[in-house]
Chain A
Amino acid sequence: MRAGHRRDRMPQPGHPQDDAAVEFRGVSRRFRLHHETRTSFQDWFIALVRPRGKAEEFWALRDVSFVVRRGEALGIVGRNGAGKSTLLKLVSRVLEPTSGDVLIHGRTHAMLELGAGFHPELSGRDNVYLNGSIYGFSRRQMGERFDRIVQFAELERFIDTPVKHYSSGMFMRLGFAIAVHMDPEILVVDEVLAVGDAAFQRKGYEALMDLRARGTTVLFVSHSVEQIRDFCDRAILLQEGRIVDSGPAAEVVDHYLRTMQEQAGEIAILRVRAIDRSGLPLDAVASGADLGLEVLLRVPPGGSTGDLALGLDLHDRAGTHLFGSTAQLPADLPAFDDLDPGTRRVRSVVRGLPLAGGTLTIAATLQRGALGTTEPLDRQETQVDVVGRWTGRERGILRLDHDWEWETEADPSATGPHLEHR
């Protein structure tokens, strides 16, 4: 049914965009909201007995059309949830459009997450070849690039060490080094410059400039509007899945900043995400492991974070409010990113996440004022999967650290109760 739908929307021949590298023609992308999907047979049977209403839908992109020409760098700006990531995932073919056409002319490499596809047990060397083949590169092609990749990543001494022993910096350096040595014709960059130390950020930025100088087409998303202004020729501004402005990068960025100020009363949450111990973003966390949360705030020049309260609230798939906590922020939070002095970072750690499994929605809310008399300023959400182990002996949404105990007769040396720790 869907395939037929797509065939109807094949673009008409005779309108070739000869110098187009990426072309979107009336692209829309719909998501069904998570709490409506059935991921166990139990849910499925319940749904059979009790037919649900129409699934709740969310259009991440609506009727988006644009062209990126060869050698051009396009910045994509917009608030969280405006559709930036969905757009990049469509370009990198991780997602398919619900309707419309995405045309890609050239070899594409997507840097959506550095080191995606690394296997912790394998050495850096094996991972370079494995990662290369994930992007369709042969052993020989990776062999030609191998020395340059290792040199760029500054990992000569550790290349035969399993990557599970790498620091987060080493891990990202290797991921970045592989990406920039793939000679892509089209490069998709999503926030990857926001991680790592200052030296690595500079090196990465220079490598991207170098690729750009050699004619690579770049689609660029960054929370740093300065980077977009410096790096991109043109930009598009997304708002609730639609393109509301496009043109020279500096103009679109200014437009974006103006709308941000109008919308959010100057201070806003740029991003909330789950991170691991080393600060790398997470899609999934193991039940019982530590879950880090990171919130980036944008504070205009001269603005203060005093008088602000940041709340974090966890909901499960069914919408149950699992936990919430609010912190009163200090007035003198330092900027965390040299390139963008307006950003502040707040982190939180949930130790030993006591959840059995499922998708966790994390909401960050920013409020002004003390308890009782608060004025909401901004709210952002993200999701992370909690991966549990199904033992068949435990039930419920929580996974509590528990013991079973009983007396044992057989063992006279045992003085206390027998403990079985699981």
Chain B
Amino acid sequence: MHHTPLPVTGRVTGRGETVASQALELVQYRSLIRNLVAKDLKVRYKNSALGFLWSLLNPLLMMVVFTFVFTQLLNQHIAAFPVFVLTALLPWNWTATAVTAGTASLVDNAPLINKVYFPRILLPMSVVLSTMVNYVLALPALFLMMAIFGRPFTPWIVEIPLIVLIQAIFVTAVVLILAPLNVYFRDTTVLVEVGLLAWFFMTPIFYPVEAVVPHLAAWMYRLNPMAAIVEDYRVILYNGAVPDPLFTGRTGATALVLLAIGWLVFTRLSRNLGENL
């Protein structure tokens, strides 16, 4: 009768105090991660007639709008503008949806948190993962545009999974800080909305980084990891070149440091969730 391997056992005090014990718990709850991601995707695609097509169509429509505004209204000359903007828009959409949904993830699941114990960190994490799946599934649309506009497919494409990993780490870090903050200050959601808009303009999505005043561009990379991540995608997929390994390495290191900070913040702030939700 007692064959279940999961030992939800031991002391309540002192739980989850070390990185190792938390990591072990995450391994034990891996089926919950999978199910939460599957639930997110299922629910997202269930209620609209076009379902999954929307996650392809939405960025493509945005691409059309940006292309019209910048090449027709503003008369900018950037070769293959649709590909140029889409290489940045797709990863940006991932970040934006993950940050929005991730910030709300604890508050939205308040009834569950108050009734069942499970590692709370899985809620924001599963949001990052499900939005990542969504992003990866939208990449074929980008490849299609690259083929249509004759952009080169170079072997450097194999580096894309690494950039996706760096972005996933970075987005997780951001969400781990914002989700518990939203429990204590419910208007975090509103500030995040405004913040995302500012962040969108501060990231070279619809303009090339070369258009930024040079000494500010350096600061943009330092203060905004998304700018560096977007630039890596663009170098590989739009320029067909290899990103500077040092540049990518710095971005990755920044993401890891932020993840450590995010984990600390989350562990500290989420201790009394049951009381504050």
Contacts and interface: CB of A to CB of B under 8 A. Distances in A.
A136 interface: yes
B43 A93 contact: no
Interface string A98-116: 0011111111101011001
B39 A113 contact: no
B32 interface: yes
Interface residues of A, number: 60
Nearest to A7: B14
B276 to A, nearest CB: 7
Interface of A: 2-3, 6-7, 9-10, 31-32, 37-42, 44, 89-90, 92-97, 100-108, 110, 112-113, 116-117, 119, 121-122, 126, 129-130, 132-139, 141, 183, 185, 214, 283-284, 385, 390, 392
Q: How large is the interface on B (under 10, 10 to 19, 20 to 34, 35 or more residues)?
A: 35 or more
Contacts of B29: 133, 136
A117 B116 contact: yes
A102 B11 contact: yes
B118 A2 contact: no
B28 A136 contact: yes
A119 B32 contact: no
B115 interface: yes
A137 to B, nearest CB: 7
Contacts of A392: 190
Sorted nearest first, the 10 A-B pairs with minimum C-beta distance are A93-B117, A116-B115, A102-B12, A133-B32, A136-B6, A133-B31, A133-B35, A112-B115, A138-B31, A95-B274
A137 B4 contact: yes
A103 B271 contact: no
Given A107-B9, A121-B42, A136-B8, A94 B185 contact: no
Interface string B13-44: 11101000000000011011011100100110
Interface stretch (B56-64, B65-73, B106-114, B217-225): B106-114
A39 B13 contact: no
Contacts of B1: 183, 214
A282 to B, nearest CB: 9
B274 A89 contact: yes
A117 B112 contact: yes
B196 to A, nearest CB: 15
B187 interface: yes
B47 A121 contact: yes
Nearest to A119: B39
